[in-house]
Amino acid sequence: MNILVIGDIVGKPGREILKSLLTWVQSRYNIDFTIANAENAAGGRGLTLDVKNELLGMGIDCLTMGNHVWDNKNIFSFIDDEPRLIRPINYPGDCPGQGMHIYKAGFNKKIAVINASGRVFLPALDCPFRAMDDVLEDINADADYIIVDFHAEATSEKVAFGYYLDGRVSAVLGTHTHIQTADERVLTNGTAYITDLGMTGPIESILGMEKETIIERFLNARPTRFQVADGPAHLQGVVLQLAEDDKKAIKIERISHVLSNKGII
Protein backbone atom coordinates (compact mmCIF):
# COMPACT_ATOMS: atom_id res chain seq x y z
CA MET A 1 0.00 0.00 0.00
CA ASN A 2 1.43 3.36 -1.09
CA ILE A 3 0.02 6.51 0.49
CA LEU A 4 0.82 10.07 -0.59
CA VAL A 5 0.57 12.74 2.13
CA ILE A 6 0.87 16.34 0.92
CA GLY A 7 2.15 19.21 3.05
CA ASP A 8 0.07 22.33 3.79
CA ILE A 9 -1.53 23.69 0.60
CA VAL A 10 -1.16 27.48 0.57
CA GLY A 11 -3.59 29.53 -1.48
CA LYS A 12 -4.01 29.57 -5.25
CA PRO A 13 -0.31 28.86 -6.02
CA GLY A 14 -0.57 25.65 -3.97
CA ARG A 15 -3.75 24.61 -5.73
CA GLU A 16 -2.30 25.40 -9.16
CA ILE A 17 0.84 23.31 -8.61
CA LEU A 18 -1.38 20.44 -7.48
CA LYS A 19 -3.36 20.70 -10.70
CA SER A 20 -0.12 20.47 -12.65
CA LEU A 21 1.70 17.77 -10.68
CA LEU A 22 -0.70 15.62 -8.64
CA THR A 23 -1.57 13.10 -11.35
CA TRP A 24 2.10 12.76 -12.28
CA VAL A 25 3.14 12.21 -8.65
CA GLN A 26 0.38 9.65 -8.08
CA SER A 27 1.44 7.75 -11.18
CA ARG A 28 5.18 7.93 -10.51
CA TYR A 29 4.88 6.57 -6.97
CA ASN A 30 2.02 4.16 -7.70
CA ILE A 31 -0.22 5.83 -5.11
CA ASP A 32 -3.26 4.03 -3.69
CA PHE A 33 -4.55 6.82 -1.42
CA THR A 34 -3.88 10.57 -1.15
CA ILE A 35 -4.13 12.84 1.90
CA ALA A 36 -3.48 16.61 1.92
CA ASN A 37 -3.50 19.31 4.57
CA ALA A 38 -5.86 22.08 3.42
CA GLU A 39 -6.06 24.52 6.34
CA ASN A 40 -4.35 27.27 4.30
CA ALA A 41 -5.84 26.38 0.92
CA ALA A 42 -8.31 29.28 0.55
CA GLY A 43 -6.43 32.56 0.42
CA GLY A 44 -3.88 31.27 2.91
CA ARG A 45 -6.35 30.89 5.78
CA GLY A 46 -9.08 28.29 6.11
CA LEU A 47 -11.19 26.47 3.55
CA THR A 48 -14.25 27.33 1.47
CA LEU A 49 -16.78 25.04 -0.19
CA ASP A 50 -15.48 25.88 -3.66
CA VAL A 51 -11.85 25.23 -2.72
CA LYS A 52 -12.77 22.01 -0.93
CA ASN A 53 -14.57 20.76 -4.03
CA GLU A 54 -11.68 21.86 -6.24
CA LEU A 55 -9.14 19.87 -4.21
CA LEU A 56 -11.25 16.74 -3.91
CA GLY A 57 -11.95 16.94 -7.63
CA MET A 58 -8.21 16.64 -8.33
CA GLY A 59 -8.08 13.13 -6.87
CA ILE A 60 -7.32 13.82 -3.22
CA ASP A 61 -9.08 11.29 -0.98
CA CYS A 62 -8.93 13.10 2.38
CA LEU A 63 -8.32 16.68 3.54
CA THR A 64 -6.92 17.43 6.99
CA MET A 65 -6.97 20.79 8.77
CA GLY A 66 -5.33 22.57 11.72
CA ASN A 67 -5.47 25.75 13.78
CA HIS A 68 -6.95 27.76 10.87
CA VAL A 69 -9.89 25.39 10.46
CA TRP A 70 -12.46 28.00 11.56
CA ASP A 71 -10.89 31.07 9.90
CA ASN A 72 -13.31 30.98 6.97
CA LYS A 73 -16.83 30.82 8.39
CA ASN A 74 -18.08 29.25 5.17
CA ILE A 75 -16.77 25.94 6.54
CA PHE A 76 -19.68 25.66 8.97
CA SER A 77 -22.02 25.15 5.99
CA PHE A 78 -20.36 21.91 4.90
CA ILE A 79 -17.97 20.45 7.49
CA ASP A 80 -20.64 18.22 9.05
CA ASP A 81 -21.64 16.78 5.67
CA GLU A 82 -18.22 16.02 4.14
CA PRO A 83 -16.68 12.71 5.27
CA ARG A 84 -13.51 13.44 3.29
CA LEU A 85 -12.68 16.41 5.54
CA ILE A 86 -11.36 16.10 9.10
CA ARG A 87 -10.34 18.70 11.71
CA PRO A 88 -8.24 18.28 14.88
CA ILE A 89 -9.75 15.58 17.04
CA ASN A 90 -8.82 17.26 20.34
CA TYR A 91 -11.19 20.24 20.14
CA PRO A 92 -13.09 20.20 23.43
CA GLY A 93 -16.81 19.59 23.86
CA ASP A 94 -19.40 19.41 21.09
CA CYS A 95 -17.54 20.53 17.98
CA PRO A 96 -18.62 20.60 14.30
CA GLY A 97 -17.01 18.12 11.97
CA GLN A 98 -14.98 15.02 12.75
CA GLY A 99 -11.43 14.38 13.88
CA MET A 100 -11.13 10.90 12.39
CA HIS A 101 -12.60 8.89 9.56
CA ILE A 102 -11.99 5.41 8.12
CA TYR A 103 -11.69 5.17 4.34
CA LYS A 104 -11.49 2.24 1.94
CA ALA A 105 -8.55 2.00 -0.45
CA GLY A 106 -6.60 -0.51 -2.49
CA PHE A 107 -7.72 -4.12 -2.21
CA ASN A 108 -10.39 -3.64 0.49
CA LYS A 109 -7.97 -2.03 2.91
CA LYS A 110 -9.30 0.36 5.56
CA ILE A 111 -7.29 3.51 6.30
CA ALA A 112 -8.05 5.55 9.42
CA VAL A 113 -6.92 9.17 9.08
CA ILE A 114 -6.70 11.18 12.29
CA ASN A 115 -6.00 14.92 12.64
CA ALA A 116 -4.64 16.21 15.97
CA SER A 117 -3.40 19.62 17.06
CA GLY A 118 -0.45 20.38 19.31
CA ARG A 119 -0.73 22.73 22.29
CA VAL A 120 2.74 24.32 22.51
CA PHE A 121 2.56 27.86 20.98
CA LEU A 122 -0.94 27.04 19.66
CA PRO A 123 -4.46 27.34 21.14
CA ALA A 124 -4.87 25.25 24.28
CA LEU A 125 -7.08 22.41 23.13
CA ASP A 126 -7.57 19.11 24.94
CA CYS A 127 -4.48 16.94 25.32
CA PRO A 128 -3.66 15.35 21.93
CA PHE A 129 -1.83 12.45 23.58
CA ARG A 130 -4.86 11.42 25.65
CA ALA A 131 -7.21 12.09 22.74
CA MET A 132 -5.20 9.59 20.69
CA ASP A 133 -5.41 7.02 23.49
CA ASP A 134 -9.20 7.32 23.45
CA VAL A 135 -9.66 7.07 19.69
CA LEU A 136 -7.19 4.20 19.26
CA GLU A 137 -9.16 2.10 21.73
CA ASP A 138 -12.20 2.50 19.50
CA ILE A 139 -10.72 2.00 16.03
CA ASN A 140 -7.73 -0.32 16.37
CA ALA A 141 -9.62 -3.41 15.26
CA ASP A 142 -11.49 -1.55 12.50
CA ALA A 143 -8.55 -0.16 10.51
CA ASP A 144 -5.75 -1.83 8.57
CA TYR A 145 -3.65 1.36 8.69
CA ILE A 146 -3.73 4.49 10.85
CA ILE A 147 -2.28 7.76 9.55
CA VAL A 148 -1.96 10.76 11.88
CA ASP A 149 -1.53 14.39 10.76
CA PHE A 150 -0.12 16.12 13.85
CA HIS A 151 -0.55 19.85 13.29
CA ALA A 152 1.88 21.37 15.77
CA GLU A 153 4.44 24.15 16.18
CA ALA A 154 7.07 22.78 18.55
CA THR A 155 9.53 20.21 17.25
CA SER A 156 9.82 18.65 20.71
CA GLU A 157 6.06 18.07 20.91
CA LYS A 158 6.02 16.48 17.47
CA VAL A 159 8.92 14.14 18.21
CA ALA A 160 7.36 13.17 21.56
CA PHE A 161 4.07 12.46 19.81
CA GLY A 162 5.82 10.22 17.29
CA TYR A 163 7.52 8.16 19.97
CA TYR A 164 4.34 8.02 22.06
CA LEU A 165 2.46 6.45 19.15
CA ASP A 166 5.31 4.30 17.79
CA GLY A 167 3.97 0.83 17.04
CA ARG A 168 0.37 1.92 17.59
CA VAL A 169 -0.18 3.76 14.30
CA SER A 170 1.27 3.47 10.80
CA ALA A 171 2.53 7.05 10.54
CA VAL A 172 2.82 10.31 12.49
CA LEU A 173 3.34 13.18 10.05
CA GLY A 174 3.89 16.75 11.21
CA THR A 175 2.29 19.76 9.55
CA HIS A 176 1.90 23.50 10.29
CA THR A 177 5.43 24.96 10.11
CA HIS A 178 5.59 24.82 6.27
CA ILE A 179 9.32 23.97 6.29
CA GLN A 180 10.07 20.41 5.19
CA THR A 181 12.34 18.60 7.64
CA ALA A 182 14.99 16.03 6.78
CA ASP A 183 14.29 13.60 9.64
CA GLU A 184 11.95 11.15 7.93
CA ARG A 185 12.42 7.63 9.27
CA VAL A 186 10.64 4.49 10.42
CA LEU A 187 10.75 4.37 14.20
CA THR A 188 11.77 1.27 16.16
CA ASN A 189 8.31 -0.24 16.41
CA GLY A 190 7.26 0.40 12.82
CA THR A 191 5.71 3.87 12.74
CA ALA A 192 6.79 6.21 9.92
CA TYR A 193 7.66 9.70 11.17
CA ILE A 194 8.60 13.16 9.90
CA THR A 195 8.55 16.40 11.89
CA ASP A 196 7.08 18.44 9.02
CA LEU A 197 5.86 17.52 5.55
CA GLY A 198 6.65 20.97 4.21
CA MET A 199 4.44 23.17 2.08
CA THR A 200 2.67 22.98 -1.25
CA GLY A 201 2.80 26.62 -2.24
CA PRO A 202 4.96 29.53 -3.46
CA ILE A 203 8.70 29.02 -3.14
CA GLU A 204 9.81 32.68 -3.02
CA SER A 205 7.88 33.44 0.15
CA ILE A 206 7.97 33.30 3.93
CA LEU A 207 5.86 30.26 4.79
CA GLY A 208 3.78 30.94 1.67
CA MET A 209 3.20 34.64 2.37
CA GLU A 210 4.66 37.74 0.70
CA LYS A 211 8.16 38.35 2.03
CA GLU A 212 7.91 42.13 2.40
CA THR A 213 4.94 42.18 4.76
CA ILE A 214 6.47 39.55 7.04
CA ILE A 215 9.81 41.36 7.17
CA GLU A 216 7.99 44.63 7.91
CA ARG A 217 6.27 43.03 10.88
CA PHE A 218 9.59 41.84 12.29
CA LEU A 219 11.05 45.33 11.85
CA ASN A 220 8.27 47.43 13.37
CA ALA A 221 6.38 44.94 15.59
CA ARG A 222 3.05 46.23 14.25
CA PRO A 223 0.27 44.07 12.78
CA THR A 224 0.33 43.67 9.00
CA ARG A 225 -2.07 41.94 6.64
CA PHE A 226 -0.46 38.82 5.22
CA GLN A 227 -0.99 38.01 1.54
CA VAL A 228 -0.25 34.76 -0.28
CA ALA A 229 2.87 35.21 -2.41
CA ASP A 230 2.96 34.87 -6.19
CA GLY A 231 5.46 33.04 -8.34
CA PRO A 232 6.59 29.44 -8.82
CA ALA A 233 5.43 26.84 -6.31
CA HIS A 234 6.52 23.40 -5.20
CA LEU A 235 4.65 20.30 -4.08
CA GLN A 236 6.06 18.75 -0.91
CA GLY A 237 5.13 15.77 1.22
CA VAL A 238 5.96 12.11 1.72
CA VAL A 239 5.18 8.76 0.18
CA LEU A 240 4.51 5.95 2.65
CA GLN A 241 5.01 2.31 1.80
CA LEU A 242 3.00 0.20 4.25
CA ALA A 243 3.13 -3.53 4.91
CA GLU A 244 0.32 -5.66 3.53
CA ASP A 245 -0.10 -7.85 6.59
CA ASP A 246 0.09 -5.39 9.50
CA LYS A 247 -0.10 -1.67 10.33
CA LYS A 248 3.64 -1.09 10.12
CA ALA A 249 5.49 1.16 7.70
CA ILE A 250 8.17 -0.29 5.44
CA LYS A 251 9.46 3.00 4.07
CA ILE A 252 8.89 6.76 4.16
CA GLU A 253 10.21 8.87 1.28
CA ARG A 254 10.33 12.65 1.40
CA ILE A 255 9.36 14.34 -1.89
CA SER A 256 9.61 17.89 -3.26
CA HIS A 257 8.75 18.62 -6.89
CA VAL A 258 8.52 21.76 -9.02
CA LEU A 259 7.43 22.44 -12.59
CA SER A 260 10.15 24.22 -14.56
CA ASN A 261 10.84 25.01 -18.20
CA LYS A 262 12.80 21.73 -18.23
CA GLY A 263 9.79 19.75 -17.01
CA ILE A 264 9.05 18.29 -13.59
CA ILE A 265 12.00 18.12 -11.21
Distances (CA, A) of 228 to 25, 204, 223: 24, 11, 16
Are 8 and 35 a contacting pair, CB within 8 Å? no
Q: How far is CA 188 from the centre of its chain?
A: 23
Q: How far apart are CA 90 and CA 36, in angstroms?
A: 19
Polymer length of the chain:
265
Q: Which stretches does DSSP call E strand in 38-189?
A: 62-64, 85-86, 100-105, 109-117, 145-151, 171-175, 185-186
Q: How far is CA 122 from the centre of its chain?
A: 16
Amino acid at 255: I
Residue 133's contacts (CB-CB under 8 Å, 6 or more residues apart) are none
**Of the listed 68, 176, 234, 257, which one is catalytic?**
68
Q: Answer yes or no: 68 catalytic.
A: yes
Q: How far apart are CA 201 and CA 208, in angstroms?
A: 6
Secondary structure in 3-state letters for 147-174 = EEEEECCCHHHHHHHHHHHECCECEEEE
Closest by CA position to 82, among listed 66, 103, 68, 67: 103
Question: Would you please indicate which residues are annotated as catalytic (active-site) residues?
Answer: 68
